[in-house]
Structure 1
Amino acid sequence: MEVDFSNIKTIAFDADDTLWVNETYFRETEEKFAELLEGYETKNKIDQELFKMEMKNLKLYGYGVKGFMLSMIESALDLSNNNIGQEKLLAIIDLGKTMIAHSVELLDGVEEVLAKLQSQYRLIVLTKGDLLDQERKLAKSGLSKYFHHVEVLSDKKEENYKNLLDHLEIQTNEFLMVGNSLKSDVIPIINIGAKAIHIPFHTTWAHEMVSNEEEQNNGHLKLSGIREILKYLN
């Protein structure tokens, strides 16, 4: 698809699963959580109930590992009728701590692309999740030097984007968002009149999935990897 990027002055990059691996660790932790609770329910039921609990708690806890950990604990109590032992509850807490302490694995080509774009564009990190956790990951990634600004949003809806662009004095037609989520990084951006590039990650959280119609009826550019950006912007 032909998309004109000639007006672009600011490029925002999503963080999780755009700059570094994230969703993979959530899926691995869900597997371990199901193993801890296998005496109470089937894996499929455990997965379903955990997701329902995450959705129920999203407005309260927001996105990120800490909210996920609390949802796991609450789900474990519900699924076990409050009979789960202290040892397993502590094991669930350890699963969350392991995720928080995990090393940061950059996706292939990320640093190469940022290094080449840095001198030509204003680069920012625009992500959602837990502030402390995202700051930690950015520091561990070694990518801070490439960005003019870092913003961690509570959510990525049209209003969130509009307010941020106004605050940073960025013109909508000069703004490009790059991310792995159609729901969070592409659709709301297109709807406010800015540009978006979609780089899918091999694993997508169910909450971030969209219909085929929503995926196809958008004026965005879809790439298979971040290096392809340089064909259009460098």
Structure 2
Amino acid sequence: MPEITTVGFDADDTLWHNERFFAITQDRFAELLVDYAGREHLDERLLAAEYRNLGRYGYGIKAFLLTMVETAIEVTDAKLPASVIRQILEIGHDMLEHPIELLPHARTAVEEVAGTRRAILVTKGDLLDQERKLAQSGLGDLFAGVEIVSEKTPQVYARIFDERGDGAARSIMVGNSVKSDVLPALAAGAHAAHVPFDLKWALEHAEHPEPQPRFHELDDLGGLPALLERLDDGTRSSV
């Protein structure tokens, strides 16, 4: 039996593009409000509202859409024309309808893992939207389990790896977010592989952990099979 029997994959910006669509939408949002607020001020207000609303709306496109409307009302002192609110809703709808684009090596990595171990998807966000993206990705049949959670915490990872695998010690979480995919997985006792992505949401920023045997860095998902083989051999790995 391999040393690592369960591999958890993050979804957004690990398996498929996500943050770049938020960046494009934020540019369009700024264009709509150019007569009311400067870009830097608007970005600051939007980010503050996103942080404030995490407990209300959670993560995902719908939460972002509501927060854009709220921010637009605030920065215009509630003088925003209904026509602009309608345009904000339309750009949010565009995000919900955008086709999924897999990242390099995503399909191959999941296929190789699913052939020898349990591959599970662990993602946070809006349930319907994450289910839509998974269905469009064409990867759904490869996963032994799918977990869509409101937040990624050590307790959540411990539960998932106990229920879906052989416990945290024999599991690894693979993702682009140090804050959500690495630190809480390590705290749960699992391995964690960080796969960096060039765009990152400000609220997902976190410092890298100190070097340790259960923390691994990958240039991209193409290095995951070799990492798992080295872990099976009992050697510490870093790519």
Give the alignment's TM-score, normalised by structure 2.
0.91
Partner of residue 124 from structure 1, selected from 113, 120, 126: 120
Partner of residue 64 from structure 2, selected from 68, 84, 96: 68
Shift of 1:168: 3.1
Q: Which residue does the alignment assign to 2:41?
A: 45
Q: Deviations over 1:74-112 (max 9, x none)?
A: 000000000010110000001111001000000011111
1:183 to 2:183 alignment: no
Q: Deviations over 1:169-226 (max 9, x none)?
A: 5311111100000000001111121101000110010011113xx4445541111110
Q: Deviations over 1:135-172 (max 9, x none)?
A: 00000010112111111000001122123233335311
Cα distance in 2, alignment partners of residues 124 and 166 from structure 1: 12
| SS state at 1:197 partner | strand
Q: Which residue does the alignment assign to 2:228?
A: 233
- Check conservation: 2:118, 2:165, Cα contact below 8 A: no
Shift of 1:118: 1.4
Q: Which residue does the alignment assign to 2:194?
A: 198
Cα distance in 2, alignment partners of residues 197 and 39 from structure 1: 44
Partner of residue 166 from structure 2, selected from 167, 170, 185: 170
Q: Which residue does the alignment assign to 1:3?
A: none
Q: Which residue does the alignment assign to 1:115?
A: 111
Relative to structure 1, the CA distance from residue 179 to residue 143 in structure 2 (aligned partners, 3 Å threshold; closer, same or farther) is same
CA RMSD of aligned residues (A): 1.5
Cα distance in 2, alignment partners of residues 168 and 109 from structure 1: 24
Q: Deviations over 1:17-62 (max 9, x none)?
A: 0000000100111111111111111100000000100111110100
Mapping of 1:1-234 within 5 angstroms?
7-168=3-164, 170-211=166-207, 214-217=208-211, 219-234=214-229
Cα distance in 1, alignment partners of residues 128 and 8 from structure 2: 20
Bigger shift: 127-136 or 187-196? Answer: 187-196
Q: Which residue does the alignment assign to 2:235?
A: none
Cα distance in 2, alignment partners of residues 33 and 107 from structure 1: 26
What residue identity is the alignment partner of 1:44? Answer: E
Structure 1: gaps spanning 5 or more residues: 1-5
What residue identity is the alignment partner of 1:40? Answer: Y
Cα distance in 2, alignment partners of residues 171 and 216 from structure 1: 23
- Check conservation: 1:7, 1:173, Cα contact below 8 A: no
Bigger shift: 112-121 or 22-31? Answer: 112-121
What residue identity is the alignment partner of 1:153? Answer: V
Shift of 1:114: 1.6
Give the alignment's TM-score, normalised by structure 1.
0.93
Cα distance in 2, alignment partners of residues 170 and 87 from structure 1: 54
What residue identity is the alignment partner of 1:139? Answer: A
Number of residue pairs matched?
A: 228
Cα distance in 2, alignment partners of residues 97 and 184 from structure 1: 26
Q: Percent identity?
A: 39
Q: Which residue does the alignment assign to 2:234?
A: none
